[in-house]
Structure 1
Amino acid sequence: MTTSLQLYRYSFTAGAFAAGGSFFGRAPSQLSELPALTSGFAPTAAATYYLELLFLRAVPIILMVICNVLNWRYFLKALQCTEHTLTATVLTAATNYMLSFILGALVYREEITLMSTVGAIFIITGLWFLCKAQEEQKLSAKHKKSH
Protein backbone atom coordinates (compact mmCIF):
# COMPACT_ATOMS: atom_id res chain seq x y z
CA MET A 1 0.00 0.00 0.00
CA THR A 2 2.85 2.37 0.82
CA THR A 3 4.40 1.85 -2.61
CA SER A 4 1.03 2.65 -4.21
CA LEU A 5 0.82 5.89 -2.24
CA GLN A 6 4.35 6.83 -3.28
CA LEU A 7 3.71 5.88 -6.89
CA TYR A 8 0.52 7.94 -7.08
CA ARG A 9 1.50 10.80 -4.76
CA TYR A 10 1.70 13.26 -7.63
CA SER A 11 -1.83 12.36 -8.72
CA PHE A 12 -3.14 12.95 -5.21
CA THR A 13 -1.19 16.19 -4.91
CA ALA A 14 -2.49 17.42 -8.28
CA GLY A 15 -6.05 16.61 -7.21
CA ALA A 16 -5.58 18.45 -3.93
CA PHE A 17 -4.33 21.55 -5.74
CA ALA A 18 -7.24 21.32 -8.20
CA ALA A 19 -9.64 21.26 -5.25
CA GLY A 20 -7.77 24.22 -3.76
CA GLY A 21 -8.16 26.12 -7.02
CA SER A 22 -11.92 25.52 -6.96
CA PHE A 23 -12.08 26.43 -3.28
CA PHE A 24 -10.29 29.75 -3.74
CA GLY A 25 -12.20 30.45 -6.94
CA ARG A 26 -15.44 30.33 -5.01
CA ALA A 27 -14.10 32.23 -2.00
CA PRO A 28 -14.69 35.82 -3.24
CA SER A 29 -18.43 35.34 -3.59
CA GLN A 30 -18.65 33.55 -0.25
CA LEU A 31 -16.49 36.05 1.63
CA SER A 32 -18.43 39.04 0.35
CA GLU A 33 -21.59 37.56 1.91
CA LEU A 34 -20.15 37.43 5.43
CA PRO A 35 -21.92 40.00 7.64
CA ALA A 36 -18.77 40.97 9.55
CA LEU A 37 -17.02 41.89 6.33
CA THR A 38 -19.88 43.65 4.60
CA SER A 39 -20.68 45.91 7.54
CA GLY A 40 -17.45 47.83 6.98
CA PHE A 41 -14.21 47.43 8.87
CA ALA A 42 -12.52 50.72 7.95
CA PRO A 43 -13.41 54.31 8.81
CA THR A 44 -13.76 55.60 5.24
CA ALA A 45 -15.66 54.26 2.28
CA ALA A 46 -12.58 54.39 0.05
CA ALA A 47 -10.47 52.41 2.52
CA THR A 48 -13.25 49.84 2.86
CA TYR A 49 -13.47 49.51 -0.90
CA TYR A 50 -9.73 48.92 -1.34
CA LEU A 51 -9.46 46.52 1.59
CA GLU A 52 -12.43 44.58 0.28
CA LEU A 53 -10.95 44.55 -3.20
CA LEU A 54 -7.63 43.27 -1.88
CA PHE A 55 -8.76 40.69 0.66
CA LEU A 56 -12.07 39.56 -0.74
CA ARG A 57 -11.17 39.53 -4.42
CA ALA A 58 -7.45 39.70 -5.22
CA VAL A 59 -5.97 37.34 -2.62
CA PRO A 60 -8.37 34.43 -3.32
CA ILE A 61 -7.92 34.84 -7.08
CA ILE A 62 -4.12 34.85 -6.73
CA LEU A 63 -4.34 31.72 -4.56
CA MET A 64 -6.65 30.11 -7.14
CA VAL A 65 -4.14 30.78 -9.93
CA ILE A 66 -1.26 29.42 -7.83
CA CYS A 67 -3.25 26.27 -7.01
CA ASN A 68 -4.15 25.74 -10.67
CA VAL A 69 -0.53 26.14 -11.80
CA LEU A 70 0.61 23.65 -9.15
CA ASN A 71 -2.22 21.32 -10.18
CA TRP A 72 -0.86 21.19 -13.73
CA ARG A 73 2.73 20.84 -12.53
CA TYR A 74 1.96 17.83 -10.36
CA PHE A 75 -0.43 16.33 -12.91
CA LEU A 76 2.34 16.34 -15.51
CA LYS A 77 4.66 14.69 -12.99
CA ALA A 78 1.95 12.10 -12.29
CA LEU A 79 1.68 11.35 -16.00
CA GLN A 80 5.44 10.81 -16.18
CA CYS A 81 5.52 8.48 -13.15
CA THR A 82 2.62 6.17 -13.93
CA GLU A 83 2.50 3.43 -16.53
CA HIS A 84 -1.01 4.34 -17.68
CA THR A 85 -2.19 7.90 -18.21
CA LEU A 86 -5.73 6.82 -17.37
CA THR A 87 -4.68 5.94 -13.82
CA ALA A 88 -3.11 9.35 -13.21
CA THR A 89 -6.11 11.12 -14.71
CA VAL A 90 -8.69 9.17 -12.71
CA LEU A 91 -6.81 9.48 -9.42
CA THR A 92 -6.32 13.22 -9.89
CA ALA A 93 -9.98 13.79 -10.77
CA ALA A 94 -11.24 11.59 -7.94
CA THR A 95 -9.04 13.36 -5.40
CA ASN A 96 -10.28 16.71 -6.71
CA TYR A 97 -13.94 15.66 -6.49
CA MET A 98 -13.65 14.15 -3.02
CA LEU A 99 -11.73 17.08 -1.52
CA SER A 100 -14.09 19.56 -3.17
CA PHE A 101 -17.04 17.63 -1.71
CA ILE A 102 -15.49 17.69 1.79
CA LEU A 103 -14.40 21.35 1.62
CA GLY A 104 -17.79 22.41 0.27
CA ALA A 105 -19.58 20.65 3.11
CA LEU A 106 -17.25 21.82 5.88
CA VAL A 107 -16.33 25.35 4.83
CA TYR A 108 -19.13 26.53 2.55
CA ARG A 109 -21.87 24.62 4.40
CA GLU A 110 -23.12 22.97 1.22
CA GLU A 111 -25.92 20.52 1.75
CA ILE A 112 -24.92 16.86 1.79
CA THR A 113 -27.63 15.06 -0.13
CA LEU A 114 -28.26 11.40 -0.77
CA MET A 115 -27.19 11.91 -4.38
CA SER A 116 -23.86 13.51 -3.43
CA THR A 117 -23.19 10.77 -0.88
CA VAL A 118 -23.94 8.04 -3.43
CA GLY A 119 -21.67 9.81 -5.91
CA ALA A 120 -18.83 9.90 -3.37
CA ILE A 121 -19.33 6.19 -2.68
CA PHE A 122 -19.18 5.46 -6.42
CA ILE A 123 -15.95 7.44 -6.73
CA ILE A 124 -14.32 5.57 -3.84
CA THR A 125 -15.55 2.22 -5.17
CA GLY A 126 -14.24 3.04 -8.63
CA LEU A 127 -10.85 3.93 -7.19
CA TRP A 128 -10.77 0.65 -5.32
CA PHE A 129 -11.51 -1.30 -8.51
CA LEU A 130 -8.93 0.68 -10.45
CA CYS A 131 -6.20 0.09 -7.88
CA LYS A 132 -7.14 -3.59 -7.56
CA ALA A 133 -6.98 -4.03 -11.35
CA GLN A 134 -3.57 -2.34 -11.45
CA GLU A 135 -2.23 -4.69 -8.76
CA GLU A 136 -3.65 -7.76 -10.52
CA GLN A 137 -2.10 -6.63 -13.78
CA LYS A 138 1.30 -6.25 -12.12
CA LEU A 139 1.03 -9.69 -10.50
CA SER A 140 0.06 -11.23 -13.84
CA ALA A 141 3.02 -9.58 -15.56
CA LYS A 142 5.41 -10.87 -12.87
CA HIS A 143 3.91 -14.34 -13.17
CA LYS A 144 4.40 -14.35 -16.96
CA LYS A 145 8.03 -13.23 -16.60
CA SER A 146 8.83 -15.99 -14.12
CA HIS A 147 7.52 -18.71 -16.48
Structure 2
Amino acid sequence: MESLAKYRYSLVAGSFAAGGSFFGKLPSHLSAQKLFYTSGALSDSSYLEIAILRVLPLVLMLICNVSNLRCFLKALQMTDQTLTCVVLTAASNYVLSFILGAIVYQEPLSALSGIGIALILAGLWFLCDEGEVESKEKKLGKQN
Protein backbone atom coordinates (compact mmCIF):
# COMPACT_ATOMS: atom_id res chain seq x y z
CA MET A 1 0.00 0.00 0.00
CA GLU A 2 3.01 2.23 0.51
CA SER A 3 3.72 2.11 -3.22
CA LEU A 4 0.25 3.43 -4.04
CA ALA A 5 0.80 6.41 -1.75
CA LYS A 6 4.15 7.03 -3.41
CA TYR A 7 2.64 6.98 -6.90
CA ARG A 8 -0.68 8.66 -6.13
CA TYR A 9 0.08 11.69 -8.29
CA SER A 10 0.80 9.42 -11.26
CA LEU A 11 -2.57 7.71 -10.86
CA VAL A 12 -4.37 11.03 -10.41
CA ALA A 13 -2.63 12.44 -13.50
CA GLY A 14 -3.83 9.42 -15.50
CA SER A 15 -7.35 9.99 -14.17
CA PHE A 16 -7.30 13.61 -15.29
CA ALA A 17 -5.99 12.55 -18.71
CA ALA A 18 -8.89 10.11 -19.06
CA GLY A 19 -11.27 12.86 -17.97
CA GLY A 20 -9.85 15.18 -20.61
CA SER A 21 -10.43 12.56 -23.29
CA PHE A 22 -13.91 11.89 -21.97
CA PHE A 23 -14.94 15.55 -22.04
CA GLY A 24 -13.31 16.02 -25.44
CA LYS A 25 -15.58 13.37 -26.97
CA LEU A 26 -18.69 14.43 -25.02
CA PRO A 27 -19.92 17.26 -27.34
CA SER A 28 -20.14 14.99 -30.38
CA HIS A 29 -21.80 12.26 -28.32
CA LEU A 30 -24.39 14.67 -26.88
CA SER A 31 -25.10 16.16 -30.31
CA ALA A 32 -25.75 12.69 -31.68
CA GLN A 33 -28.21 12.07 -28.83
CA LYS A 34 -30.30 15.09 -29.95
CA LEU A 35 -31.18 16.19 -26.44
CA PHE A 36 -32.47 19.58 -27.60
CA TYR A 37 -34.89 19.76 -30.50
CA THR A 38 -34.57 23.23 -31.93
CA SER A 39 -35.74 24.69 -35.19
CA GLY A 40 -33.40 26.35 -37.68
CA ALA A 41 -33.88 29.82 -36.11
CA LEU A 42 -31.68 30.97 -33.24
CA SER A 43 -33.58 31.12 -30.00
CA ASP A 44 -32.83 31.17 -26.30
CA SER A 45 -32.82 27.37 -26.21
CA SER A 46 -30.25 27.17 -29.02
CA TYR A 47 -27.90 29.43 -27.04
CA LEU A 48 -28.46 27.16 -24.06
CA GLU A 49 -27.68 24.19 -26.27
CA ILE A 50 -24.43 25.76 -27.45
CA ALA A 51 -23.43 26.59 -23.88
CA ILE A 52 -24.25 23.18 -22.40
CA LEU A 53 -23.38 20.87 -25.26
CA ARG A 54 -20.33 22.60 -26.67
CA VAL A 55 -18.67 25.09 -24.34
CA LEU A 56 -19.05 23.38 -20.95
CA PRO A 57 -17.43 20.07 -22.01
CA LEU A 58 -14.56 21.92 -23.68
CA VAL A 59 -13.95 24.00 -20.56
CA LEU A 60 -13.99 20.82 -18.46
CA MET A 61 -11.58 19.20 -20.93
CA LEU A 62 -9.16 22.11 -20.57
CA ILE A 63 -9.40 21.98 -16.77
CA CYS A 64 -8.70 18.23 -16.82
CA ASN A 65 -5.72 18.62 -19.14
CA VAL A 66 -4.17 21.41 -17.05
CA SER A 67 -4.73 19.35 -13.89
CA ASN A 68 -3.19 16.35 -15.65
CA LEU A 69 -0.01 18.26 -16.43
CA ARG A 70 0.20 19.69 -12.91
CA CYS A 71 -0.18 16.27 -11.26
CA PHE A 72 2.21 14.67 -13.74
CA LEU A 73 4.92 17.21 -12.93
CA LYS A 74 4.34 16.66 -9.21
CA ALA A 75 4.58 12.89 -9.79
CA LEU A 76 7.88 13.32 -11.62
CA GLN A 77 9.26 15.25 -8.64
CA MET A 78 8.16 12.59 -6.14
CA THR A 79 9.42 9.45 -7.89
CA ASP A 80 12.96 8.20 -8.16
CA GLN A 81 12.54 6.82 -11.67
CA THR A 82 10.73 8.82 -14.33
CA LEU A 83 9.88 5.67 -16.30
CA THR A 84 7.72 4.37 -13.46
CA CYS A 85 5.82 7.63 -13.30
CA VAL A 86 5.23 7.72 -17.06
CA VAL A 87 4.08 4.09 -17.23
CA LEU A 88 1.70 4.46 -14.29
CA THR A 89 0.17 7.62 -15.71
CA ALA A 90 -0.30 6.15 -19.18
CA ALA A 91 -1.66 2.84 -17.89
CA SER A 92 -4.18 4.45 -15.55
CA ASN A 93 -5.26 6.70 -18.43
CA TYR A 94 -5.82 3.69 -20.73
CA VAL A 95 -7.73 1.70 -18.12
CA LEU A 96 -10.00 4.56 -17.08
CA SER A 97 -10.62 5.59 -20.70
CA PHE A 98 -11.60 1.99 -21.46
CA ILE A 99 -14.01 1.90 -18.51
CA LEU A 100 -15.57 5.28 -19.31
CA GLY A 101 -15.93 4.40 -22.98
CA ALA A 102 -17.65 1.13 -22.18
CA ILE A 103 -20.00 2.59 -19.58
CA VAL A 104 -20.90 6.02 -20.96
CA TYR A 105 -20.39 5.76 -24.72
CA GLN A 106 -21.41 2.07 -25.01
CA GLU A 107 -18.25 1.26 -26.95
CA PRO A 108 -18.05 -2.41 -27.86
CA LEU A 109 -16.14 -4.75 -25.56
CA SER A 110 -14.12 -7.57 -27.06
CA ALA A 111 -12.09 -10.40 -25.63
CA LEU A 112 -8.94 -8.78 -26.99
CA SER A 113 -9.62 -5.50 -25.17
CA GLY A 114 -10.33 -7.43 -21.96
CA ILE A 115 -7.04 -9.29 -22.30
CA GLY A 116 -5.24 -6.01 -22.95
CA ILE A 117 -6.67 -4.38 -19.83
CA ALA A 118 -5.79 -7.47 -17.77
CA LEU A 119 -2.19 -7.34 -19.03
CA ILE A 120 -1.95 -3.62 -18.26
CA LEU A 121 -3.22 -4.18 -14.71
CA ALA A 122 -0.82 -7.11 -14.22
CA GLY A 123 2.07 -4.98 -15.44
CA LEU A 124 1.08 -2.20 -13.04
CA TRP A 125 0.96 -4.66 -10.17
CA PHE A 126 4.44 -5.99 -10.97
CA LEU A 127 5.81 -2.49 -11.43
CA CYS A 128 4.47 -1.24 -8.10
CA ASP A 129 5.39 -4.48 -6.30
CA GLU A 130 8.97 -4.37 -7.62
CA GLY A 131 9.38 -0.83 -6.33
CA GLU A 132 8.18 -1.95 -2.91
CA VAL A 133 10.70 -4.82 -2.83
CA GLU A 134 13.53 -2.46 -3.81
CA SER A 135 12.59 0.03 -1.07
CA LYS A 136 12.58 -2.78 1.53
CA GLU A 137 16.01 -3.88 0.33
CA LYS A 138 17.33 -0.33 0.67
CA LYS A 139 15.96 -0.09 4.21
CA LEU A 140 17.60 -3.39 5.14
CA GLY A 141 20.89 -2.24 3.59
CA LYS A 142 20.85 0.96 5.67
CA GLN A 143 20.25 -1.01 8.88
CA ASN A 144 23.29 -3.26 8.30
Q: TM-score under structure 2 normalisation? A: 0.91
Aligned to 1:17: 16
Does the CA contact (< 8 Å) of 2:15 and 2:93 recur in 1? yes
User: Are 2:77 and 1:80 equivalent residues in the alignment?
Assistant: yes
Tell me whether 1:63 sits opposite 2:74 in the alignment: no
The percentage of counterpart residues that share the same residue type is 53
Q: Paired residue for 1:45?
A: 41
- TM-score, length-normalised on structure 1? 0.90
Q: Determine if the alignment matches structure 1 residue 134 to structure 2 residue 131.
A: yes
Amino acid at match of 1:17: F
Question: Which residue number corresponds to residue 106 of structure 1?
Answer: 103
How far apart in 1 are the matches of 2:60 and 2:139? 44
Partner of 2:33: 34
Give, in whole Å, the separation in 1 of the partners of 2:72 and 2:8.
10
Q: Structure 2 regions of 5+ residues with no counterpart?
A: none
What per-residue deviation string (whole Å, max 9, x for no partner) do you get for residues 88-107 of structure 1? Answer: 11111111111111100110
| Offset, 1:5 | 2.2
Equivalents in 2 of 1:112, 1:52: separation in Å?
A: 31
Whether contact under 8 Å (2:84, 2:127) holds in the other structure is yes
Deviation for aligned residue 1:44: 7.8
State the superposition RMSD in angstroms: 1.6
Could you tell me how far 1:140 is from its partner in structure 2?
2.5
Which structure 1 residue ranges, 4+ long, deviate > 6 Å from structure 2?
Answer: none
**Equivalent pairs, count:** 143
